[in-house]
């Protein structure tokens, strides 16, 4: 697999990436084999510019009993649209389009910085300065260690976004910090269920007051979700009416409580494996 580029080459601006992903010629270069659904590593070229991307064809999705409506690809695109509405840019540019194996999700490839530390396992019962405790994890041989994540404003924004999109599978491998200090999050197929499905390893702020920037972002999202607004119309193309209504309800609940949500207690709050 060739070395990917995080930033589009040469003349391509951030505003042009969606056009490139939508209209460019997709060429499959390889497959991400450890994924549970079909994930293809591709290049996409348009008018002399080329970037690397991920293509997830709908035909390669495994049916999920608790997500009978719509497709995982549509939910991936809806997560991008919601992320953009917050102004945080946490999800890489993502579009729904035809490809070599039919319609699917196409997303800009992000190269993560392997030196960036956002998660850790520690032997102590306290997370230490700069870290937030999630819970204890089995590390083998009858031993457990405390799973912690960084007390990082970028992760905190993502925790809020996950609460809005009702992410049922936020694992450590979905976090892509980059060398220039940005943070992206991927794999949003299991999202937007009308029932509470939130499972994440970003519980470090559970029950704490939302930061002011989060309440501002949520207020902007709420305004964008009213009937007739562009975001509401776009989500209606990707999700069911019940799912769109549930998004509105979750945003309203977060603004009303003013706090990060707590685990429901009805099922394991942390996905397995967490990373």
- Give the per-residue pLDDT at 244: 97
Tell me how far apart the alpha carbons of residues 206 and 133 are, in angstroms, rounded to a whole number. 10
pLDDT at 197 over 90: yes
- Give the per-residue pLDDT at 44: 96
Q: Specify the residue for token string 């991400």.
A: 32
Q: Is pTM, for the whole model, over 0.75?
A: yes
Tell me how far apart the alpha carbons of residues 217 and 84 are, in angstroms, rounded to a whole number. 10
Omega within 30 of 0 (cis) for the link into 273? yes
Q: What is the mean pLDDT of residues 68-81?
A: 92
pLDDT at 146 over 80: yes
* pLDDT band per the 50, 70, 90 thresholds, residue 8: very low
- Give the per-residue pLDDT at 14: 60
Residue that wins the pLDDT comparison between 268 and 103: 103
pLDDT at 116 over 80: yes
Render pLDDT for 216-265 as a digit per residue (tens, 0 to 9). 999 999 999 999 999 999 999 999 999 999 999 999 999 999 999 999 88
- What is the SS3 assignment for 9-58? CCCCCHHHHHHHHHHCEEEEEEECCCCCCCCEEEEEEECCEEEEEEEEEH
Domain boundaries, the chain: 14-108
- Give the per-residue pLDDT at 220: 97
- Give the per-residue pLDDT at 13: 62
Query: What value, to the nearest 5°, has the Cα angle with vertex 125 and ends 120 and 131?
Result: 40
- Give the per-residue pLDDT at 36: 76
Identify each DSSP E strand in the chain by its residue range: 25-31, 40-46, 49-57, 94-99, 102-108, 119-122, 131-140, 143-150, 175-177, 183-185
* pLDDT band per the 50, 70, 90 thresholds, residue 87: very high
Q: What is the mean pLDDT of residues 143-160?
A: 93
Tell me how far apart the alpha carbons of residues 77 and 107 are, in angstroms, rounded to a whole number. 9
Task: Identify the bridge partners of residue 177 per DSSP, sorted by sequence position.
Answer: 183
- Give the per-residue pLDDT at 182: 94
What does the mean pLDDT of the chain come to? 90
Q: What share of the chain is helix, strand, coil (3-state, %, to 5)?
A: 30, 25, 45
pLDDT at 16 over 50: yes
Provide the Cα torsion 178, 171, 100, 230; round to 10°: -80
Residue that wins the pLDDT comparison between 32 and 196: 196
* pLDDT band per the 50, 70, 90 thresholds, residue 64: confident
């Amino acid at each position: 697999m060739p070395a990917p580029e995080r930033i589009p080459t040469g003349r391509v601006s951030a505003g042009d990436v969606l056009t490139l992903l939508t209209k460019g010629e997709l060429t499959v270069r390889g497959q991400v084999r450890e994924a549970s659904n079909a994930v293809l590593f591709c290049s996409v070229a348009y008018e002399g510019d080329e970037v690397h991307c991920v293509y997830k064809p709908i035909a390669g999705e495994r049916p999920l009993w608790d997500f009978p409506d719509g497709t995982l690809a549509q939910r991936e695109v809806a997560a991008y649209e919601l992320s953009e509405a917050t102004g945080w840019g946490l999800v890489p540019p993502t579009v729904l389009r035809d490809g070599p194996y039919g319609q699917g999700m196409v997303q800009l490839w992000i190269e993560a910085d392997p030196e960036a530390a956002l998660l850790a396992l520690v032997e102590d019962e306290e997370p230490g300065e700069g870290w937030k405790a999630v819970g204890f994890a089995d590390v083998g041989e009858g031993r457990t260690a405390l799973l912690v994540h960084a007390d990082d404003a970028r992760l905190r924004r993502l925790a809020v976004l996950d609460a809005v999109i009702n992410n049922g599978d936020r694992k450590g491998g979905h976090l892509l910090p980059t060398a220039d200090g940005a943070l992206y999050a991927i794999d949003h197929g299991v999202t937007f269920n009308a029932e509470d499905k939130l499972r994440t390893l970003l519980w470090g702020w559970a029950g704490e007051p939302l930061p002011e920037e989060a309440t501002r972002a949520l207020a902007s999202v709420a305004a964008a979700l009213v009937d007739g607004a562009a975001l509401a119309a776009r989500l209606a193309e990707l999700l069911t009416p019940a799912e769109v209504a549930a998004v509105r309800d979750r945003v309203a609940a977060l603004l009303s409580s003013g706090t990060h949500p707590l685990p429901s207690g009805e099922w394991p709050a942390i996905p397995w494996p967490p990373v």
